[in-house]
Amino acid sequence: MSEIRQDPCTGQRVLIASGRKHRPMDWRGEDETPLPAFDPDCPFCPGNEDKLPSIIAEVARDETPGWAVRVVPNKYPAVSASSEAGAQSAAYGEHRVIVETPRHDLDLDRVTPEQAELVVGAYHDQFCELAAKPGTKSVVLFRNFGPTAGASRQHAHTQIMSLDAVPPKTDATSRWLRAAFERHGENATARYLRNELEDGTRIIEGTEDFVLLVPFAASGPFELLILPRRHQASFAEATAPERAALAAMLQSALRRLKTVIGPLDYNWVFETSLPHDAEPELQYWCLRIAPRLSTPGGFELGTYLPVNSSSPEDDAAALRDAAGS
């Protein structure tokens, strides 16, 4: 049976083609060749600092190499650093890389809980710093892991980009959220989370601070959302204990995905307002994780209607049964 579902938080429509669904084992990739702990050609590995444009910030630690998390400029930024770049239509901002561990061979699910907390703390610090810069109208914090997800480096890292403009998706979502607020008189995402918790079908894991779930209108197989239980319009509002809880939830989400699917490429993105632009009646930040298990085809290109061949309810059931710790 196929059906078109609409995301209650963004308005995005998705074709759920459950008649084409796969069993979880059908998604499993082949085991990867283990990476070395150090790669002499990787600019993110300790000792290769001469391959970096510069170092913006570091989270220090006592053991060699002396740092746990490092922030560097993107060597090939997608935005221009200043208006001196030329064209009037140029996009301005900053493009940075958060190197999440000195180890070349570790994804976030395999580092210690303490290291994961430092990583999420660096996300928060960088987000708040860029959001506070004059002229910034949006900050996008995102991760590409694996070649099909757009990653050019194997070493675990996340990117953050500030812009002097509001992206089209953010603008469209804001309009949808305002219309939803006018219809229901409450924040759309808060209403959605309450309904999902009452239903329980797509909930994977819940803690005191966060809920992990498969979206009602997931745009692809095993897509995930992490939502804070406390209503926060901006990621900037997350407290230190909440950031630690988010780190644990992120690790759990990745472990569950890898238990069910095996090695995988994926993207994640923080969907959040800036602290100074926050409208709590409309906005509620979340973290969206999208495994790259399918490739959009001509139908999607021609319709802007994603096709998900996996049932969100079945995906949630498989992930609930998987090990998250």
Local confidence band at 1 (pLDDT 50, 70, 90 cut-offs):
confident
Q: Is residue 277 part of a domain?
A: yes
User: pTM for this structure?
Assistant: 0.94
> What does the block give as tokens for 315?
């995906």
Q: Is residue 75 part of a domain?
A: yes
- Asked whether residue 254 carries a pLDDT value surpassing 90, the answer given is yes
Query: What's the pLDDT score for residue 291?
Result: 97
- Domains held by the chain: number: 1
| Mean predicted confidence (pLDDT) in 301-310 | 94
Q: Is residue 203 part of a domain?
A: yes
Q: What CATH number has the domain bearing residue 220? A: 3.30.428.10
Q: Is residue 306 part of a domain?
A: yes
Local confidence band at 80 (pLDDT 50, 70, 90 cut-offs):
confident
The boundaries of the domain holding residue 245 are 2-320
Query: What's the pLDDT score for residue 17?
Result: 92
CA 78 to the chain's CA centroid: 18
Name the CA dihedral angle for 89, 91, 92, 98, rounded to a multiple of 10 degrees: -170
Lowest mean pLDDT of 34-38, 78-82, 135-139, 259-263, name the range. 78-82
Instruction: Count CA within 13 A, CB hemisphere, residue 124.
Output: 20
| Mean predicted confidence (pLDDT) in 12-32 | 69
Q: Is residue 325 part of a domain?
A: no
Lowest mean pLDDT of 145-154, 197-206, 209-218, name the range. 145-154
Give 25: exposed, middle or buried? Use CB within 10 Å, 0-12, 13-18, 19+: exposed
Q: Which of 225, 174, 190, 229 is nearest to 11 (CA)?
A: 174
Q: Is residue 85 part of a domain?
A: yes
- Asked whether residue 153 carries a pLDDT value surpassing 60, the answer given is yes
- Asked whether residue 44 carries a pLDDT value surpassing 60, the answer given is yes
- Asked whether residue 191 carries a pLDDT value surpassing 60, the answer given is yes
Query: What's the pLDDT score for residue 24?
Result: 54
- Asked whether residue 179 carries a pLDDT value surpassing 90, the answer given is yes
| Mean predicted confidence (pLDDT) in 172-179 | 96
Q: Is residue 80 part of a domain?
A: yes
Higher pLDDT pick, 69 / 83:
69
Query: What's the pLDDT score for residue 85?
Result: 47
Q: 203-206 and 57-60: which strand pairing?
A: unpaired
| Mean predicted confidence (pLDDT) in 278-284 | 94
Query: What's the pLDDT score for residue 25?
Result: 52
Q: If you average pLDDT over every residue of the chain, what do you get?
A: 93
Local confidence band at 324 (pLDDT 50, 70, 90 cut-offs):
confident
Cα 42 from Cα 53, distance rounded (Å): 13
